[in-house]
Structure 1
Amino acid sequence: MIQKFFILCSGADTQILDTCSNGEKNKYAGMGATVFFTALMAWIAGSYALYTIFDNAYTSGFFGLIWGLLIFNLDRYIVGTMRKKDSKLNEMVQAIPRIVLAIIIAIVISKPLELKIFQKEIDAVLQEERNQKLIDNKSQITSYYQNDINHLNQEIDNLKKEITTKESEVNNLYKTYIEEAEGLSGTKKLGKGPVYEEKRQKHDAALLELQTLKQTNLEKIDKKEAEIAVVQDQLEQQLSDTNPIIKNFDGLMARINALGKLPWLPVLFITLLFLTIETAPVIIKLLASKGEYDAKLTDLEETQIGWLGQKAYQRTKQQETDKDLNNRIYEDLKSDEALYSEKKEKAAEIAKLQAEAFYKQQKSVL
């Protein structure tokens, strides 16, 4: 039962193989087993690759099964369509496209399994890349919003500087009118004279301006600080929105790129293993000598081709014979007076009817 199943997987003609020896059956059963297990690994590899996309075992398993059946069909076709030739060179020419296709299939199959085998190493590489991306992302976003924050801080500093400058001016005016009263500067007369009153008024006016300026600028400063808080919130929100995207940076393409950053020798061994498995049926059939099954299959195909060629030849000769007979028949009809007279009579009647119809039409027009 198992042997029959594997023979079916090999793509061999079971009716011909039933008439062959057990050795031939075992040979093609081995080829079929290789095709089957290659398709099985393709199913596993495809399911894992799709699981990294869908994150659902049932969906991944279903589409992975379709992928495995596709690989099974391709491998079965590659092995089943190879024919043993009398010349090894002709066999090589026949096998080259199949070997190239087998190599492509092997690379496609091996890649998801390599991702699974080196999963821990790939996760370490991805973690490093995520950390670096988080740092770069924070730096870019902070740099984008920092310009606005710096501009607002500069405006706040300017407003505070205006207050400080005005306070310095008021303090100077205060010192001036006090020294005038004490006779230390100005008129250097002790007492509160007209000059003292003038300087005191200037100080009082400047003090009033300072109070107004403080109130106005402090309101502006509060507004600027509120704007800075809004920008800070926007910065934090942007980081909150983008960080999860970076933390989920572990898709199929990211893992393949991370795999390429690992040491190449272990990865190469896995790829070579699948290349060997995938190309094994083609190589085995290429190296095997022409056996009983191949001889019978060749005989059957040549017999069918000969029979079909004979039928085509007979159809061609039959068409040529019918053509010659028809030519002779119509040549004899040319000299048949009875047929001539009958066709002449019918033609005359048709001409008469056409003339009458033409006459009626012209008459109606006039």
Structure 2
Amino acid sequence: MEKLTRFFWWCSGTHQATLAKYPAEHNKYVGIGATIFFTGLFAALSGGYALYFVFSGGSFAPLYAILFGLLWGLAIFNMDRYIVLSINKNASGLKQLFQATPRILLAVLIGIVIARPLELKVFDKEIREQLRVTYLDRQRANIDTLNKAFESKYAIELGRVTELKTERDSLEAAIKSDRVKLKMETFGEKTVETSGIVGYGPYAKQRQAELDKQEQYLDTLRSRIQLQETFIQQRKQFEGLLDERLLTGAQLDSAVNVAGFADRNAALGDLKYHPDGTLNEANYWSITFIMLLFIFFECLPVFVKLMSVRDAYDIALRDQQTVDIHRSGKNRDAEIAITDSLYDTHVQQAIEKRKARVWEDETL
């Protein structure tokens, strides 16, 4: 426990030799150090989880995630440690708040960055379902776009097929009607368009000849339609329309499994809204409160340091810093005095040497 206590003291950035003299303050700085440590730990998990999806599918994805997670966690830990350490409790309350304001803003930013990957993990199941819907909608939209582009490009050919089919349908209806009339002519039913003479007479033969011509033309129309449809099908194959297929269950699962961080992040944002665009309050507030929780957790060490009153450790640390500054000033003055003395001695020696040289010259 003593080693663990000193480790958390180190995390909080305290001067351990000074803090050890004041047992009443030990637990406070253990709590601050533990908060900073676990913030760095959460940052490591968050960063590693985020990078795992960046390299998802690669052989070294777990290794990259672990290395980056450790680096990211250490960076956040060091930053939090510096933020808490740099707040001077011996200053006035307004000055402390002024010192802490940019650090609080930085802590808020760090909290948002840490929270996002962990939110992705918390809502993993819902994100997978949202990705299924998103991928299918995206593929349908892609297919619709390709079809519209194809229809625009081959509008003349498609229009010709439509005209031929319309003519075919009209001709089939006319042939069906003429067959009924031929039957009535043969059986001698008297109407406006039939003679009423029983048997296969000249009127019946005339109708049969016209019907044969119509059927021959219908066969020609069907052949032309088939040739035109074959051409359009070949063009669809060439344009790649026939290769577009909606994902099946297994393919969709595979696509969801390899989804990157950007797709998962977008899916998490989509969970805040219903398909009709209205706000999904349950998901919206759940995601928001998780983010706020991590922001508060990240700002907690700074808030604790600001809210705590100046204690014996802070006063002792201030006195120790004053003594160190005083000693540093004395040492500097002593160094300056020694330097000046050495300089004077050197100058005096140079003067004596000059005088001796001049005397020798005069003697000679």
TM surpasses 0.5: yes
Change (3 A) 1:296 1:73: same
Is residue 11 from structure 1 mapped to residue 16 from structure 2 by the alignment? Answer: no
Match of 2:69?
Answer: 64
**Which deviations, in whole Å up to 9, do the C-alpha atoms of 1:8-45 show, x marking residues without a partner?**
32222222222321x21111111111112212222222
Distance 2:246 2:322 in 1: 71
Match of 2:97?
Answer: 92
Distance 1:80 1:227 in 2: 77
Match of 1:256?
Answer: 265
TM-score in terms of structure 1 length: 0.65
- Aligned-pair distance for 1:137? 0.6
Change (3 A) 1:114 1:341: same
- Aligned-pair distance for 1:236? 3.2
Distance 2:156 2:338 in 1: 99
Change (3 A) 1:134 1:83: same
Distance 2:43 2:147 in 1: 46
Which residues in structure 2 correspond to 1:201-350 (within 5 Å)? 227-233=231-237, 234-236=239-241, 239=244, 250-261=259-270, 262=272, 263=281, 264-330=284-350, 336=356, 338=358, 341=361
Distance 2:247 2:347 in 1: 87
Match of 2:30?
Answer: 29
Distance 1:18 1:301 in 2: 17
Paired residues of 2:43 and 2:72 also in contact (CA < 8 A): yes
Paired residues of 2:90 and 2:315 also in contact (CA < 8 A): no
Change (3 A) 1:141 1:339: farther
Change (3 A) 1:154 1:290: closer
> What amino acid is the match of 2:17?
Q
> What amino acid is the match of 2:263?
A
Is residue 136 from structure 1 mapped to residue 141 from structure 2 by the alignment? Answer: yes
- Aligned-pair distance for 1:120? 3.9
Percent identity between matched residues is: 32
Change (3 A) 1:38 1:156: closer
- Aligned-pair distance for 1:227? 4.5
Change (3 A) 1:91 1:232: same
Match of 1:165?
Answer: none
SS at match of 1:307: helix
Distance 2:107 2:164 in 1: 76
> What amino acid is the match of 1:80?
L
Is residue 79 from structure 1 mapped to residue 84 from structure 2 by the alignment? Answer: yes
Structure 1: 5+ residue runs without aligned partners? Answer: 161-213, 346-366
Distance 1:226 1:269 in 2: 59
**Which deviations, in whole Å up to 9, do the C-alpha atoms of 1:333-364 show, x marking residues without a partner?**
5555646729xx9xxxxxxxxxxxxxxxxxxx
TM-score in terms of structure 2 length: 0.65
Distance 2:140 2:106 in 1: 44
**Which deviations, in whole Å up to 9, do the C-alpha atoms of 1:271-307 show, x marking residues without a partner?**
2211221111111111112222222222222222221
Is residue 108 from structure 1 mapped to residue 113 from structure 2 by the alignment? Answer: yes
Distance 1:337 1:69 in 2: 68
> What amino acid is the match of 2:6?
K
Change (3 A) 1:337 1:72: closer
Count the aligned residue pairs. Answer: 285
Paired residues of 2:147 and 2:241 also in contact (CA < 8 A): no
Change (3 A) 1:335 1:39: closer
> What amino acid is the match of 2:37?
F
- Select the structure of larger CA radius of gyration: 1
Match of 2:171?
Answer: none
Change (3 A) 1:242 1:326: farther
Match of 1:166?
Answer: none
> What amino acid is the match of 1:10?
S
Distance 1:39 1:144 in 2: 52
* More displaced 10-residue stretch of structure 1: 105-114 or 238-247: 238-247
Change (3 A) 1:17 1:113: same
Structure 2: 5+ residue runs without aligned partners? Answer: 166-219, 273-280
Distance 1:333 1:61 in 2: 71
Distance 1:273 1:15 in 2: 34
Distance 2:65 2:229 in 1: 53
Change (3 A) 1:85 1:159: same
